[in-house]
Amino acid sequence: SALPGGIIPALLTPVDSRGDILRDHLVSLLEYTLDCGVSGFYVGGSTGECFLMSVSQRKEVLSIASETVSGRVPLIAHIGAQNVDDSFYLAEEAHALGYSAISAVTPYYYGFSFQEVFSYYQELCQISQLPMVMYFIPALTGRTFTSQEIARLAAIPGLEGIKFTDGDLFKLERLRGQLPDFVIYSGYDELLLPSLSLGVNGAIGSTYNVTAPLVIALWESFREGDLARAGHLQRELNTIIEMLVGNNLYPTLKDLLARRGLGGGLCRRPFLPLTASQKEESARIDTHITRV
């Protein structure tokens, strides 16, 4: 498959207090994580706040990322949207901008039937020339699928992978066993090591924007068979993730970028800026990360 493996940050989108994209900060984040050695970027996903943005802003983010990265690593464009026409439009843009793949969250909110979800991916895959990574995140979409249903979706020509953001590792294992050529990305950063042991091809996550060196070290330790070191790193990362998730995740990740001189910016409403005490906690998280 043309889909990238390895550690892939789910790219944050720095915005100003009006919610406009801060191009320079986005470029700094891309350059910084590239220097850390990441294997690609997942652009415009949940972490990128795509569901809070206009289509033209989403296109702007896709284009800033492709211009900046300029072929150094593969890019995956998340193009999922409530309005299918927006998805088709963004899929075309992603292709024109040189993306390696597209990804779409499973249709949500209306409680669609399996057949409706199947038709959605089938049509997107027919129209787009790029491989599709379905984005499975039942905790946020409110819609889960069995491993048998996912396997039926995986049979759609062009649907080559899944971003598996679920704690059900039995389901992950069943999928891996059934579909040896399907590309599976771990979606919960907390569960990277167990997911690696079950044979995922890569990992896409929000916290990798600020922990890339540590998580790449975990990945390499696993590949070298040093499970003690990999386990130690997962534990350290999970302490950081626990602190991040307890402190309003996305605004805190951006605050950490700002502390590193990378800008970072704010999040779009209804996300609120960090309070004074959340800023203090963010400073503690920053110190913690640098000590690991």
| Residue positions annotated with a catalytic role | 135, 163
Q: Which of 6, 11, 7, 8 is nearest to 253 (CA)?
A: 11
Site mask for ligand HMN (CB under 6 A), range 270-289, x = bound: --------------------
40 touches ligand HMN by CB under 6 A: no
236 touches ligand HMN by CB under 6 A: no
Count Cβ neighbours within 10 Å for each residue of 260-285 and write b for 16 or more, e otherwise. eebbbbbbbeebeebeeebeebbeeb
195 touches ligand HMN by CB under 6 A: no
Q: How many residues bind ligand HMN (CB under 6 A)?
A: 19
Please identify, using beta-carbon distances, which residue of 27 and 204 lies nearer to ligand HMN: 204
Please identify, using beta-carbon distances, which residue of 87 and 165 lies nearer to ligand HMN: 165
Q: Are strands 41-43 and 75-78 parallel, antiparallel or unpaired?
A: parallel
- Let me know how long the chain is: 292
Stretch that binds ligand HMN, among 68-76, 153-161, 182-190, 282-290 (CB under 6 A): 182-190
164 touches ligand HMN by CB under 6 A: no
Site mask for ligand HMN (CB under 6 A), range 88-127, x = bound: ----------------------------------------
Please identify, using beta-carbon distances, which residue of 19 and 187 lies nearer to ligand HMN: 187
Q: How many CB atoms lie within 10 A of CB 148?
A: 10
| Residue 7 near residue 219, CB atoms below 8 Å | yes
d(CA 15, CA 17): 7
Two tokens, residue 189: 């950063």
46 touches ligand HMN by CB under 6 A: yes
Residues lying near ligand HMN in the complex (CB under 6 A) = 10, 42, 45-48, 140, 165, 187-190, 204-207, 241, 245, 249
